[in-house]
Amino acid sequence: MGVRLAMKKELMGLDNSDMLTADDVRSHLSTQVKEQKEDAERGFSVISKFNDYHSRLISGVTNRKSILEFERHRLFKEVLYTRKSVDAWLDNQIN
């Protein structure tokens, strides 16, 4: 993690919160996928689906309902996801 990202996360107050940035979600997904060693392609697919969803969300093109709950940080306008919804989305993608 870079210094800028670490400082930004500290300024946003995410250290002890239940909110995750997109980078945090990607790292969480990759560690969860690595634990399930059966199918490496599925792990790549899960991260790719998240990246697609996040890109659509950033561009404002989302038109379908998703399990992923998010909110925008008031100051930084960063999209933050709840850990609970990320875990539920991951379970839905894997199973």
pLDDT truncated to tens, each residue of the chain (95 aa)?
578 877 777 888 877 788 999 999 999 998 888 877 666 667 778 899 999 999 998 888 866 677 888 888 888 888 999 999 999 999 888 77
Question: pLDDT at position 1, please?
Answer: 59
Q: Are 66 and 89 in contact (CB under 8 A)?
A: yes
Full-model pTM: 0.83
Side chain identity, residue 89: W
Question: pLDDT at position 68, please?
Answer: 87
Pairing of strands 70-72, 19-20: unpaired
22 phi and psi, to 5 degrees? -60, -40
